[in-house]
Chain A
């Protein structure tokens, strides 16, 4: 690491660089956060796949709303001393199913979410203010942290993601059909209500995990950005979800690996990788369009 140190000094930078990147003790840290990496990897994959439908159903705002309520649930659990996983899950499912019941009309939905979201955020902040435990776990729910996920908790997080993915796979074609055109799908016997509610269930599950890994404010980085990137480079029904999963995986795991070297929350690393991927995909798409023209 001496080369890096020399570089820092040469550049005249004082302390802050060490906060961003510092790879001393890397191996030890790795062992500590193995569980977080596994959780993040699974989340990245499932988030990337789910994101394709979030984009198609125009639900980015809903994701944001659900994550604020999930945050409130997690903060409430922290305050009560109960399981954060369960708290995040409860808040998230409640919000997701409520939004699902509001129905498909985007405008009604968005105004309701706009009302719900600050309420959830306010509630969560209230709970955190009342809580007098470790400050880092407070901040972590908003902006993400490498929580040292313990064994049972890891299986919860992974299990929740796997259930969400199983739901998506089970309703894959009807969901695709319903997202494209609900009435045409209904004409062919796709039950729109059931499909939407199952999708919201999957969304709630994934968001509750994402809140605990990247924090409520940055859930979109794993649930929208990877899929949006994939859509820039492909229009294939098969390739887009696969690429979304890949980009999500790279951002989530890459973010944690980089964050290990510094003392910042993990979200800036994850969001930066995700954003860079998006820019790269835009560039690739633009070049290809120009060549095709």
Chain B
């Protein structure tokens, strides 16, 4: 796994200017390909409450980074910062060496569950097609056939062929979510950001989406930043974990972060990480910080 190699570089403080001033020759360093995503000293606070600070992060081609944390710990906000729609308090974010504050972005993004209203004049396939050419000016005139083939393939991959002709607003939450995954993947993005894409999926479709994303990063080298509440479905794919809590964070391989001592220190109170029937469960994380884990521990 390329990502395991990348992990050691995550906290190094090598000068960001060196990485950004030119595009490093990737073929010269096959073991250490240039990071696709570089975050340096990222800090963000709302109304005096710090979400995260001093965040340094390199995500290299093909790496699968899982972001964990309580409700309100700033996971979605982090993804929005990576998209360039949320400004940082301080620090820099670069994608493919280019600052996200400007420039053309080629990022696939699956937003946290937001239902598309009924009465949206769009069918399943239209939503996916926007992932291909939604950023192009004008109306779609040429290339309909090639587009159709791409969209069909993306739909088939999420088991959504049946949903292609249905009005998007009439699809269930999970069906919409699968359409969004197809929309993000069809664009062949440089980076894939997923905000709880497993939210309202049944077990079968959870596995399907995880393996789809996993396959994509292996075949295309697309790095993945994957926000989730339950680490278990993505644990086999995860290279590194970024755990956000109480304005602080821990970054490392799953076995380095998902440990009682590490999380206890992070939360500032006793937290137990246990393995129950092959699943990792976090017990005793403060309720006001993380109601979800209480439920899971109960």
A interface list, Cβ under 8 A from B = 52, 55-56, 169-174, 176-177, 180-190, 192, 230-231, 234-237, 240-241
B interface list, Cβ under 8 A from A = 80, 83-85, 104-109, 111, 114, 116, 119-123, 126-127, 130-131, 133-140, 167-170, 180, 183-184, 187, 189, 193
Quick one: given A183-B85, A184-B183, A237-B126, are A190 and B135 in contact (CB under 8 Å)?
yes
Bound form: Cα–Cα A187–B80 in Å: 9
Q: Evaluate contact between A240 and B121: CB separation under 8 angstroms.
A: yes
CB neighbours (8 Å) of A171 from chain B are 137-138
Q: Evaluate contact between B135 and A183: CB separation under 8 angstroms.
A: no
Nearest CB to that of A184 among chain B residues? B109
Q: Evaluate contact between B120 and A180: CB separation under 8 angstroms.
A: yes
Q: Evaluate contact between B85 and A190: CB separation under 8 angstroms.
A: no
CB neighbours (8 Å) of B131 from chain A are 188
Q: Evaluate contact between B135 and A173: CB separation under 8 angstroms.
A: yes
Bound form: Cα–Cα A173–B107 in Å: 17
Bound form: Cα–Cα A236–B120 in Å: 9
Bound form: Cα–Cα A182–B116 in Å: 13
Quick one: given A174-B137, A189-B135, are A184 and B111 in contact (CB under 8 Å)?
yes
Bound form: Cα–Cα A235–B183 in Å: 19
Q: Evaluate contact between B187 and A180: CB separation under 8 angstroms.
A: no
- Can you report 13 A-B residue pairs in the complex whose CB atoms are below 8 A from each other? A169-B139, A171-B138, A173-B130, A173-B133, A174-B135, A176-B134, A182-B85, A185-B130, A185-B134, A188-B105, A188-B131, A188-B134, A235-B167
Top 9 nearest A-B pairs by Cβ distance? Answer: A235-B167, A177-B134, A187-B109, A240-B121, A187-B107, A189-B104, A172-B139, A189-B105, A188-B135
Q: Evaluate contact between B135 and A169: CB separation under 8 angstroms.
A: no
Quick one: given A173-B134, A234-B121, are A186 and B139 in contact (CB under 8 Å)?
no
Quick one: given A183-B109, A186-B84, A187-B108, are A172 and B138 in contact (CB under 8 Å)?
yes
Q: Evaluate contact between A237 and B134: CB separation under 8 angstroms.
A: no
CB neighbours (8 Å) of B105 from chain A are 186-189
Q: Evaluate contact between A173 and B136: CB separation under 8 angstroms.
A: yes
Q: Evaluate contact between B137 and A180: CB separation under 8 angstroms.
A: no
Bound form: Cα–Cα A269–B126 in Å: 36
Bound form: Cα–Cα A114–B78 in Å: 34
CB neighbours (8 Å) of A231 from chain B are 119, 121
Nearest CB to that of A240 among chain B residues? B121
Q: Evaluate contact between A173 and B84: CB separation under 8 angstroms.
A: no
